[in-house]
Every structure is written in C-alpha cells, then in structure tokens.
Amino acid sequence: MGKSKVLDSMLEAVQDIQDGATIIVGGFGLCGIPEKAILALREKGTKDLTIVSNNCGVDDWGLGLLLANKQIKKMISSYVGENKIFERQFLSGELEVELVPQGTLAERIRAGGAGIPGFYTATGVGTPVAEGKEHKVFNGKTYILEEGIVGDFALVKAWKADPLGNLIYRKTSRNFNPVAATAGKITIAEVEEIVEVGQLIPDEIHTPSVYVQRVLCGTDYEKRIERRTVKQA
C-alpha cells in the first residue's frame, strides 16, 4: 500500500502556497467549493494570487473572502455572479479579470491536466473573446486557439477519499472539481469523509490518487445556497 497523503491541518496543507501563485479552484457557485482551504488561505494572507475558477463566490463566502481581503490579483472565470466586491474591484481597476466562456474554461483546465498546450474552438469567434488569438479554418469554419491552464496548486472539494487520495464527488460538486484536480502541479483535496483503502469501489472513483498530493477531512460544512428562490404560497 502507498503512503498516506492525509494531513491534520489545513494551514499545513496550504503553507507553501506563496505570493503570486496560480491556483485552480473547483466548485460551481457555492456548491462543491473547498471552503476550508479558502479560509486557510485567508488566514495565511497569501496575496497577488491568480485564481482560476468558474466564479468567485459571494461577498461573504467562498473566494469572495479572498477578494474582500485583497489577496486576488487576477481572476480567470466565466461568471461574475452575485459578488459585488468582484464588480467593484474590477471597475476600479484593482482586479484583473479574464472572462472565459464556461465550456472553454472547463476545456482549458482539462487540457492543462492532460498535458495539451492548446486547442481550437469555435466558441468566441467574432467576439472580443477572440481578440489577439490565432484563428484557423477547418473544413470551412473558423476557430480560435485557446491555451490549456496548469495551476501551481489546485484546491478541490470531494465527498469521500481514501488515504491514498482517490476521490469521489457527490452530485453537483462533480462539475469543475474533477478537471481542476488534474490540472494542479500540487492538488489539495478537502473531503467530508476518509475511508480505509479498499473501501471505495474502483468503478466509482472520479479522481484517481495519482492526481492528488494532499488530503484533509473537514467538518461543519455550511453548504450555502447562492440565491434561494421560493414559490409564493
């Protein structure tokens, strides 16, 4: 059996994330976000970060906490969402933002994790997204070149793990987390439960342990809802 990757402290897990690092962060809205790792980064105070994530949380939770603490220099994302701090910092010039179509963002991360430096896509052709990018025609249709993304670190949230770092995600959290896990030079996975090696059914494992370097078990997850909409009685 391989060596256990389980750590006891989230601060220990993020201790070598230095100023200026590029971090790929899993999650969609507030679902499946590595909230404990984000809190540890806020406590550590690491700054000038480039964050690659679908969105940037909300004002008082998720990646929005790092924005409020002015630790993020650049966001590469597809959605501003409900975050007023994001909007304010972008309009004031404090925050550099690269907006990427959602499918393109997912593929850029997936490509980075697969060792693919770039790919062509028709998404964004004829829009500001295509400005400054190489164009090429395939079978009479124009495509633009998009580059794969590799992070110095990736932070992901899973449901279950074993000590080797095999991961299973649950429901909507199985969105950007699996691709993010492959694209970090060092991937840190926080999970809700750690089981013994052999207890995870191999066919149900979403992220193999080879992609994961550190595992931590979190508790008391808030699992907030970004915007609650209810029907009037």
Per-residue pLDDT of 168-214, as tens digits, reads 999 999 999 999 999 999 999 999 999 999 999 999 999 999 999 99
pLDDT digits (tens, 9 = 90+) for 29-49: 889 999 999 999 999 999 999
* pLDDT for the residue numbered 83: 81
Q: What is the CA radius of gyration of the chain?
A: 18
What percent of the chain has pLDDT above 70?
98
CB 34 within 8 A of CB 156: yes
Domain 18-217 has CATH 3.30.479.30: no
Q: What is the pLDDT of residues 72-97, one digit of tens each?
A: 999 999 987 778 888 889 889 999 99
Residue 44 host element (H or E): helix 35-44
Domain boundary assignment for the chain: 18-217
Across 13-17, average pLDDT: 96
Query: Taking 90 as the threshold, does the pLDDT of residue 119 lie above it?
Result: yes
Q: How far apart are CA 45 and CA 163, in angstroms?
A: 28
The pTM is what?
A: 0.92
Residue 220 pLDDT? 80
Give me the half-sphere count of Cα atoms (radius 13 Å) on the Cβ side of residue 55: 22
Angle formed at CA 23 by CA 72 and CA 214, multiple of 5 degrees: 130
**Residues 75, 76, 79, 84: what is their CA dihedral angle, to the nearest 10 degrees?**
10
pLDDT above 80 for 1 = no
